[in-house]
Structure 1
Amino acid sequence: DSIADACQYISFYHPEDFVKGMVEAYEKEESEAAKNAIGQILINSKMCAMGHRPLCQDTGSVNIFIKVGLKADLDISRDLEDVLNEGVAKGYTDPDNTLRYSVVSDPAGERKNTKNNTPAVIHYSVDNSDKIEITVAAKGGGSENKSKFTVLNPSDDIYTWVMDNVAQMGAGWCPPGILGIGIGGNPEKSMLLAKEALMGHVDIHELKERGPQNAVEELRLRLYEDINKIGIGAQGLGGITTVLDVKILDYPCHAASLPVAMIPNCAATRHIHFELDGNGAAKFNKPDLDLWPDIELPMDTIKRVNIEDLTKENLSQFKSGDTLLLSGKILTARDAAHKKIVEYKNANKPLPNGVDLKDRFIYYVGPVDPVRDEKVGPAGPTTSTRMDKFTKDMMEIGIMGMIGKAERKQPTIDLIKEYKSMYLIATGGAAYLISQSIKDAKVLAFEEMGMEAIYEFEVKDMPVTVAVDTEGTSIHTTGPAKWRAI
């Protein structure tokens, strides 16, 4: 029950220290585009806290860190792993707040969805207490996919390796967020340290105030300040806040090696820590809604656009960096649907049910199932670069444009320019807010693929930003360049 409740709790409540960090970032942000993105994330966060719906459509894969006291008298008749996974399944299938099932089995083969988001990735340890300590975290694929690991030479510079890799990470991990770094041990230990580091309290400002007291704290501060000078900013739009904190854990290692791992936590940071002492399930306190400021987006700089009025000939009126409110009908497709579409194209077969992609906008999204009177559950964008390899085929089919999150690779940008198309981004980490603009949703094809199916959404005033315009100008290049300070 504690695990199930924790999975539910973190799906709609950000940690309070993270909210405070985001509020501070919003108040000091100087980039209009980045400030708007952070504002959307905070509005979404408050809506989720009030409505008890997921912060992000990617409700993550579950990580459990469990420390079992050797003196704890566990009255269980099954393996502890089975009990933990039953808690995850119960939490993710709660009918009052259904969460998305993202875990697939047979990862190198059939990749079949397990239908309840199990199994969790579980890390065990023990101590001499009579209690159980548990941390539950839900990590989205966008940030997990940006994890990095290397074994440096002992004389190599950790700072340089981290800075180089952060600069190459782009925006697919949905900044601003927290960077976890693990140093030492061996390859698997450093990765585990990086993941554990993400569960720490956001305290970089306290560290700045008292000053560093060792080499790790000096490295934390230096990385925090210099990463924010790169100019990546919220959602990669360019700005002064890319990370809210840099957390580091280290461990002794072999004299001949220096293992280093880096894992980011996205704008949908989700984790909670609790203890069980034999007196029943854990109780989680609701945060005070006063924690979130009242934020209104600057509507005077936003253009309303009816999708039905758009043609390939008039897309050129929109320029990289423009903020739009879209209304009309769009289609959805992610990795699996794109693969199917290309297979049908190569076989010269029409798509099922008469689905026609010509002159349509394709939204990269895998929504959460709806509850109660919802037309669709939280439906934020997924990382667009995964669809880059399908873009030429989609352009040849005749799509008008794409909606996703984060940057596109240069060959894709070249295709957008060649076909006079357009790439829009929605804010990652604002899934519930975005879903409020979806007035109707129906599955058109590949229903058996669940959230990977092709849907048709009817949207009204869906907030997006022009990321790549018809001339091939990318906000993910021009934005960070404008705000880069080092």
Structure 2
Amino acid sequence: QILINSKMCAMGHRPLCQDTGSVNIFIKVGLNAKLELSKELEEVLNEGVAKGYTDPDNTLRYSVVSDPAGERKNTRNNTPAVIHYSVDNSDKIEITVAAKGGGSENKSKFTVLNPSDSIYDWVMENVKHMGAGWCPPGILGIGIGGNPEKAMLLAKESLMDHVNIHELKSRGPKNAVEELRLRLYEDINKLGLGAQGLGGVTTVVDVKILDYPCHAASKPVAMIPNCAATRHIEFELDGNGPAKFEKPDLDIWPDLEIPMDSVKRVKIEDLTKEKLQEFKSGDTLLLSGKILTARDAAHKKIVEYKEAGKPLPNGVDLKDRFIYYVGPVDPVRDEKVGPAGPTTSTRMDKFTKDMMEIGIMGMIGKAERKQPTIDLIKEYKSMYLIATGGAAYLISQSIKDAKVLAFEEMGMEAIYEFEVKDMPVTVAVDTEGTSIHTTGPAKW
């Protein structure tokens, strides 16, 4: 599904994943470059970001909120970007831009090890507990040394490098960092986490490491993953006009189809709590019918209404409904909705008991659920389904109609009603509490 989605996006010129991220910019400015600016460089860069994200022919999702510890109000154009500046003696400007999704950013880790501690052991232990919310398979970036902020910056910057682990495997490592890269790459893939955490031999497609001298008493180490929908590009400006980009050749994608031999078609209107018990963890379903959407902010609002004893706006009724954890991209042209892939479900775990008490039928998201949530699913004979993280454009093709029902002021965090036809999902936790995120990797 990830590869099919990727090819569809190249053809349709739409985002791979609905989470078009926060924008990370690495800019190296030559001291001899003649910049003809009438405003600050940072303002110019942010104007570029705003222009890109609000392009009416290909709108991207606005995910950035201001006042992060308070109101958390959406900035409505995905600015400001996170900008890292450096200089050299050239007469050029080099820019790398990454649209980094929140699912992978949220799995970032940092520590200061003792000088005698093992970096390998720390990374392996953390990868085991990272779950699937970062949407593997992806790239693992590691920064070593400097100080806390330098290590984190190195880890992020390492993710911008090209995938070349196959070249390292072929020629063999030449230093300690390359030895660590290769060892981690091979041993992480032996953990059996696999794509989407469902089990398999490919969890990372590369491990990147950048290091920097540090204090003799410390060993700062940072780790940041990139998701399957890795999106970054680099270009150079030398005064001879704008940068130009070549579209990828569609022949580089394999011809794939979703196997349909074991797929079960399900009409949501026919489902009951008794009927749910027929489906088992690992089953692939094609859902048709009407579902509701809700993410973090909507869940918080729903619980507030519940505690106040008030009905939801516009008569929205959650009883016996499936709730899809998604914040879609706005539609363009003849789309009913833009790319609409799942967000990480564990963030909604804190609200699950309230939602079960309200009477929802089940949930759709991505990645694993925590054990207390799995226990609730079993207790209420509910079900948790997963859609493929990152395959947002593919999923959006199954959404035949979309309308906002409540909290329209929250933008992509509003409650929508989607009418879907043959939406591809997998049973992740069945009514007996069996989780594929436990059984799948265990098989490998």
Deviations 1:305-325 (A, max 9, x none): 000110011100000000000
Listed one character per residue, the Cα deviations across residues 329-348 of structure 1 (whole Å, up to 9, x for unaligned) are: 00000000000000000001
| CA-based RMSD | 0.4
- Distance in 1, matches of 2:256 and 2:262, equals 16
Residue 301 of structure 1: how far off its partner (Å):
1.0
CA deviations 1:402-430 (Å, max 9, x no partner) are 00000000000000000000000000010
Deviation at 1:297, TM superposition (A): 1.0
2:58 is paired with a residue of what secondary structure?
Answer: coil
Q: Match for residue 370 of structure 2? A: 409
How far apart, CA to CA, are the structure 2 residues paired with 1:219 and 1:123?
27
Of the candidates 407, 413, 418, which is equivalent to residue 457 of structure 1? 418
Identity %: 91
**Secondary structure of 2:3's partner?**
helix
Determine if the alignment matches structure 1 residue 165 to structure 2 residue 126: yes
Q: TM-score, normalised by structure 2?
A: 1.00
Secondary structure of the structure 2 residue equivalent to 1:338: helix
Find the aligned partners of 1:446 and 1:467 in 2 and give their Cα distance. Answer: 29
In 1, Cα distance between equivalents of 2:257 and 2:408: 37
For structure 1, which runs of at least 5 residues remain unmatched after alignment?
A: 1-39
Measure, in 1, the Cα distance between the counterparts of 2:60 and 2:249. 24
In the other structure, the counterpart of 1:420 is 381
Residue matched to 2:247? 286
| Cα distance in 2 for residues equivalent to 1:304 and 1:228 | 33
Alignment partner of 2:129: what SS? helix
Shift in Å at residue 449 of structure 1? Answer: 0.5
- Tell me, in whole angstroms, the C-alpha distance in 2 between the residues paired with 1:409 and 1:386: 10
Take 1:187 and 1:341, find their aligned partners in 2: how far apart are those partners?
A: 39
**Distance in structure 1 (CA, Å) of the matches to 2:37 and 2:408:** 40
User: d(CA) in 1 for partners of 2:297 and 2:70?
Assistant: 14
**SS of residue paired to 2:6:** helix
**2:230 counterpart residue number:** 269
Task: For residue 277 of structure 2, give the secondary structure of its aligned residue in structure 1.
Answer: helix
1:78 deviation in Å? 0.5
Deviations 1:28-62 (A, max 9, x none): xxxxxxxxxxxx00100010001001110000000
1:366 paired residue among 317, 324, 327: 327
- Give 1:357's aligned residue: 318
- Identify the structure with the greater helix proportion: 1
Give 2:166's match in structure 1, choosing from 205, 213, 222.
Answer: 205
Matching of residue 342 in structure 1 with residue 303 in structure 2: yes
CA distance in 1, matches of 2:62, 2:34: 33
Structure 2: how far apart are the matches of 1:382 and 1:84? Answer: 28
The answer on 1:150 being equivalent to 2:102 is no
1:49 matched to 2:10? The reply is yes
Measured against aligned partners, the alpha-carbon deviations of 1:12-40 in whole angstroms (never above 9, x if no partner) come to xxxxxxxxxxxxxxxxxxxxxxxxxxxx0
SS at match of 1:47: helix
What corresponds to 1:17 in structure 2? none
Distance in 1 of aligned mates of 2:129 and 2:284 = 25
Query: What is the CA distance between 1:395 and its match in structure 2?
Result: 0.1
Q: Distance in 1 between matches of 2:37 and 2:259?
A: 55
Partner deviation per Cα, 1:282-318 (whole Å, 9 max, x = no partner)? 1011111101011011101110000011001110000
2:72 is the counterpart of 1:111: yes
Q: State yes or no: 1:469 paired with 2:430.
A: yes
SS state at 1:159 partner:
helix
C-alpha distance in structure 2 between counterparts of 1:270 and 1:375, whole Å: 25
In structure 1, the partner of 2:176 is 215
Shift of 1:173: 0.1
Give the Cα–Cα distance (whole angstroms) in 2 for the partners of residues 120 and 231 of structure 1.
Answer: 36
Per-residue displacement from partner, 1:127-164 (whole Å, max 9, x unpaired)?
00000000000100000000000000000000000000
Q: Distance in 1 between matches of 2:41 and 2:275?
A: 60
* Counterpart Cα distance in 1 of 2:99 and 2:399: 25
Using structure 1 for the length normalisation, give the TM-score: 0.91
Shift of 1:181: 0.2
Length, aligned pairs only: 444
SS of the residue corresponding to residue 58 of structure 1 reads coil
- 2:36 pairs, out of 67, 75, 84, with 75
Deviation at 1:281, TM superposition (A): 1.0
CA distances 1:62-115 after superposition (whole Å, capped 9, x unpaired): 000000000001110100000000000000000000000000001001111100
Q: Does 1:253 align with 2:214?
A: yes
**CA offsets per residue over residues 173-220 of structure 1, 9 Å max, x none?**
000000000000000000000000000110001000000000000000
The alpha carbon displacement at 1:171 in A equals 0.1
Unpaired stretches in structure 2, ≥5 consecutive residues: none
Distance 1:480 1:134 in 2: 39
Q: Deviations over 1:237-294 (max 9, x none)?
A: 0111000000000000000000000000001100011100011111011111101011
What SS class does the counterpart of residue 273 from structure 2 fall into?
coil
**Secondary structure of the residue that 2:261 maps to in structure 1?**
helix
1:413-470: CA deviations, max 9, x gaps? 0000000000000000100000000000000111111100000000000000000000
